[in-house]
Amino acid sequence: MEIILAKKAGFCFGVQKAIDMVYDEANSSNNNIYTYGPIIHNEEVVSDLESKGVKAINFDEKELNDLSDCTVVIRSHGVGKNIYDSLEQKNCDVVDATCPFVKKIHNIVKEESEKGKTIIIVGSEYHPEVEGIKGWVNGDAFIVDNEEDARGIDLDSNTPVCIVSQTTYNPEKFAKLVEIIGEKGYDSNVVNTICNATNERQKEAKEIAGKVDAMIVIGGKNSSNTQKLYEICKNECENTFYIQTAKDMD
């Protein structure tokens, strides 16, 4: 039996950087260490960090009020400006592990919305990265994840809009949704913010899935990246399996 391992398999640059930063803090800081949500949607990594005393919390109002003398690591997905403001008020030490490519989107939507443009974010509405991007918009933003969402946008023609994408979004879906929005006659500034590493992984996965008898996609069950890779592979190879650990093969 021949086994093909994707050359792009593994964590992307932004995620690996965030993971390394948390481990560095765990090994060097005397503070209580928290991550804003799971540092990565991978239960194996999160569990190992918990064994080192790192807690992942979602910071509802009560959790935020209880914080003191701690270090908070912002995960690679990023967060909205209000979270930074809240942590500053609590005098928390903040370690910002936001992916540089995500941080770039924050800057884009902040600047473009301050110019009066309507922001359209192509991505999954409740994904933490999208929630973080929205948190840098001056005003409201539209979240578009399917053709129905795109067709449902109702603005005056020639309205200035800026369209960005979740970094892990499917490039083909992004192009299709941008096409639908473009038919509305808005004054559109389209910024393709899909991460190149994501694009390359998806292309490679599609290519491999198209020539094998079975495909295995390994990743966290809550990982948007892994879910999208699974969808792409499943379209090419019916025998595609989504697993998290070797135990799932039993």
Q: Has residue 5 been placed in a domain?
A: no
209 with 165, same domain? no
DSSP state of 10: S
pLDDT digits (tens, 9 = 90+) for 111-160: 999 999 999 999 999 999 999 999 999 998 999 999 999 999 999 998 99
CATH code of residue 207? 3.40.1010.20
79 with 17, same domain? yes
Report the pLDDT averaged over residues 237-245.
94
**Phi, psi (5° rounding) for residue 210?**
-75, -10
23 with 94, same domain? yes
94 with 17, same domain? yes
Report the pLDDT averaged over residues 195-204.
88
Q: Has residue 47 been placed in a domain?
A: yes
Instruction: Report the amino acid identity of residue 157.
Output: S
d(CA 204, CA 151): 31
Domain that holds residue 120: 101-190
Per the CB < 8 A criterion, the answer to whether 171 and 199 are in contact is: yes
Domain end among 172, 190, 208: 190
pLDDT digits (tens, 9 = 90+) for 221-234: 888 789 889 999 99
Q: Positive or negative, the Cα torsion across 138, 119, 75, 104? A: negative
29 with 90, same domain? yes
Q: What is the pLDDT of residue 221?
A: 83
Domain end among 82, 98, 114: 98
Q: Has residue 2 been placed in a domain?
A: no
Nearest to 57 by CA among 88, 71, 48: 71
Percent of the chain with pLDDT over 90: 66
Give catalytic residue positions. 129
Per the CB < 8 A criterion, the answer to whether 105 and 193 are in contact is: yes
59 with 29, same domain? yes
d(CA 133, CA 102): 8
Q: What is the pLDDT of residue 61?
A: 62
Q: What is the pLDDT of residue 176?
A: 98
Total number of domains in the chain: 3
Q: What is the pLDDT of residue 188?
A: 95
